[in-house]
């Protein structure tokens, strides 16, 4: 799934979202983008990754993966 499609994906109660994020990571690695933060789960329950696009802009993807994070941060 292309990154733009991932950004349009709703996160609320979507167990597929972590798989989509991992797939997006794999796709972008093969496109030689520079990662700022490789996929990881943050202490407050969000899953994240950051990379630079070809123009140097940092792109950040976040999704709440724990119930506490979903309650705290809501969903798209």
Report the CATH number at residue 45: 3.30.720.110
Task: Chunk the chain into consecutive blocks of 10 residues (it has 76) and report each block's average pLDDT, rounded to whole numbers.
Answer: 52 64 71 81 88 87 86 74
Stated pTM of the model:
0.53
Q: Which domain holds residue 46?
A: 3-73
Question: Distance between CA 64 and CA 56 in Å, rounded?
Answer: 26
pLDDT at 58 (0 to 100): 92
pLDDT value, residue 22: 74
Contact 10, 70 (CB under 8 A): no
Name the domain count of the chain.
1
């Amino acid at each position: 799934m292309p990154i733009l499609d991932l950004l349009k994906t709703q996160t609320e109660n979507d167990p597929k979202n972590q798989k989509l994020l991992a797939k997006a990571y794999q796709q972008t690695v093969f496109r030689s983008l520079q990662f700022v933060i490789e996929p990881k789960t943050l202490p407050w329950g969000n899953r994240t990754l950051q990379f630079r696009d070809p123009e140097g802009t940092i792109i950040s993807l976040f999704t709440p993966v724990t119930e506490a994070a979903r309650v705290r941060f809501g969903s798209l």
